[in-house]
Structure 1
Amino acid sequence: MDILNKIIIDKKREVTLKKSIIPTSQLEASVLFNGRTNSMSKLLRNSLSGIIAEHKRRSPSKLVINNIHSVEDVVLGYQNSGACGISVLTDGKYFGGSLDDLLLAKASVTIPLLRKEFIVDDYQLLEAKAHGADAILLIAAVLTREEIKHLSEFAQSLALEVLLEVHNQEDLEKSIMPSLDMIGVNNRNLKNFEVSLNYSKELANQIPNDFVKVSESGISSVEAVKELQKYGYQGFLIGEHFMKTDNPGREASDFINKTIVC
């Protein structure tokens, strides 16, 4: 069994357990649940850099990336760097994240927040809204077209934007629908963790311009961003490159400044 399938099996079990403890009514009663959300897609369309900076402690492929810096320090550094938005990993078992990380990020910054999670159930969208997310990630590889449609439309009803992640043409063909805001191409194969920017380049022309094009993972240089911009990408999700440094915010600032002036 590959790691992605293992994560999804564990995630479905986790969601079932959470549902038995915290009812949806409790999530809907959250102070943040009826708050206004900020549009990440609009900021990306109007940005010169398009950087979505990620808070990420560890991953199955890299193990520990950064367990030193607090959520508050990292996300404030990202906001001050000029990032368009922040991706917050909330998976605990494989990435060391939590919904508390999302809540702390919400309390610390004003730019849009993406809940980066393996979403398989409506319940997780209610969690996202109750903890301050402005956007959510859906991964085409683990969802059917019907599930993508249902979850993306439910997200829209909660005023959450949707970033739909694809990895190949099959993912893309089954996923394109009006209830999406952004389509991201993951340059990392989630089954074997190989990374190549060619995944983004090969799919670029097949993504309609109605959606903001986002390239995810494996981006570690300004040159890569500039190259992908030529293919119509307006968003660039970068986490490990920033998080593995002593000062993620400063690294993001240097990166963004070079992206804008180059």
Structure 2
Amino acid sequence: MANILAEIVAHKHIEVGERKKFRSAQSLEQSQLFQRSVYSMRAFLKAPGKTGIIAEFKRKSPSKGIINDKVTVEQVTTAYAKFGASALSVLTDTNYFGGSTDDVLQARNVNNIPILRKDFIVDEYQIIEARAMGADVILLIAECLTKAEIDQFSTLANNLGMEVLLEVHSATQLEKITEHVHLVGVNNRDLTTFTVDINRSFELAKLIPSSKYKVAESGITGTNEIVQLKQAGFDGFLIGENFMKNANPAQAFEAFSHALTQQLATV
């Protein structure tokens, strides 16, 4: 597969420029949700009765095509929250992932747990936009941002009361961690080729600063993997496709959560 990440980022700059014309940052700052108190993903990852899972709503991806476009945001995310998800991840990229900002708004309307706006952040406008749509956390991708940009974007998010999940894929990218990055996610999927290797999380776990929460992302398909990742020091587990590929993602998550709870009780 060609370098799809570069293509996505180039398209994202154009897309954000168009959205700025449609609605100003100042207008976003006047929205009702911009003033709300945010939820802490770090707190919810450790909360009693929660699984540590950041459960994702994703309709499609560049590597898989359509994953599930038959279910609604409300159906899926409320089940995620009901059955123990610590947080929600909601894709807002339209062109490549079939998401929208409305998806976060809908999830926010019916859930009282943290929401991660999952997108390719390339501009401060998107962070203000995330706050205005009810997100509590933003994703920054080390692969496509400089350390200076990560510092700039994470500082703004922190000043807005939001938490920052920095996604890395290699040891060298850990050098881009800055003060206001609160969580470090190891993406087991290479964003340039979209191949997945869950061992990437185990390799990088010990290199992540102890002051940062650790999140394993992509390629998690079983409860055994979560148990092993917990033992390696991970606090959170971002899972989407494993549930969304089912005709009934809500039911799939319920069964997975129940099995995980039972397994952890015996460890």
Question: One fold, TM greater than 0.5?
Answer: yes
Structure 1 residue 49: deviation in Å?
A: 2.5
Q: What does residue 95 of structure 1 align with?
A: 97
Structure 1 residue 187: deviation in Å?
A: 0.3
Q: What does residue 131 of structure 1 align with?
A: 133
Q: What does residue 26 of structure 2 align with?
A: 25
Q: Does the 8 Å CA contact 1:85/1:113 hold for their aligned counterparts? A: yes
- C-alpha distance in 2 between matches for 1:75 and 1:109: 8
Structure 1 unaligned runs (5+)? none
- Secondary structure of 1:33's aligned partner: helix
Structure 1 residue 178: deviation in Å?
A: 1.9
> How many residues are aligned here?
261
Structure 1 residue 46: deviation in Å?
A: 3.5
Question: Residue type matched to 2:62 in 1?
Answer: P
> Normalising by structure 1, what TM-score?
0.97
Structure 1 residue 155: deviation in Å?
A: 0.2
Q: What does residue 44 of structure 1 align with?
A: 45
Q: Deviations over 1:174-226 (max 9, x none)?
A: x2222011100000001111101111011000011211100000001001111
Structure 1 residue 60: deviation in Å?
A: 0.2
Q: Deviations over 1:226-249 (max 9, x none)?
A: 111111001000000001112212
Where do 1:1-262 residues align within 5 Å?
A: 2-46=3-47, 49-173=51-175, 175-262=176-263
- C-alpha distance in 2 between matches for 1:180 and 1:261: 33
- C-alpha distance in 2 between matches for 1:177 and 1:123: 20
Structure 1 residue 250: deviation in Å?
A: 1.8
Question: Residue type matched to 2:23 in 1?
Answer: I
Q: Deviations over 1:126-156 (max 9, x none)?
A: 1100000010000000000000000000000
Moved beyond 2 Å, runs of 4+? 45-49
Q: Does the 8 Å CA contact 1:80/1:249 hold for their aligned counterparts? A: no
- Secondary structure of 2:7's aligned partner: helix
Question: Residue type matched to 1:66 in 2?
Answer: N
Structure 1 residue 42: deviation in Å?
A: 1.1
Q: Using the aligned pairs only, state the percent identity.
A: 47
- Secondary structure of 2:68's aligned partner: coil
Question: Residue type matched to 2:111 in 1?
Answer: V
- C-alpha distance in 2 between matches for 1:194 and 1:80: 32
Q: Does the 8 Å CA contact 2:44/2:113 hold for their aligned counterparts? A: no
Structure 1 residue 160: deviation in Å?
A: 0.8
- Secondary structure of 1:191's aligned partner: coil
Structure 1 residue 20: deviation in Å?
A: 1.5
Q: Deviations over 1:92-144 (max 9, x none)?
A: 00000000000000001111100000001000001100000010000000000
Question: Residue type matched to 1:119 in 2?
Answer: I
Q: Does the 8 Å CA contact 2:186/2:215 hold for their aligned counterparts? A: yes
Structure 2 unaligned runs (5+)? none
Question: Residue type matched to 1:171 in 2?
Answer: Q
Q: Does the 8 Å CA contact 1:119/1:137 hold for their aligned counterparts? A: yes
Q: Does the 8 Å CA contact 1:45/1:212 hold for their aligned counterparts? A: no
Stretch deviating more after TM superposition (47-56 or 196-205): 47-56
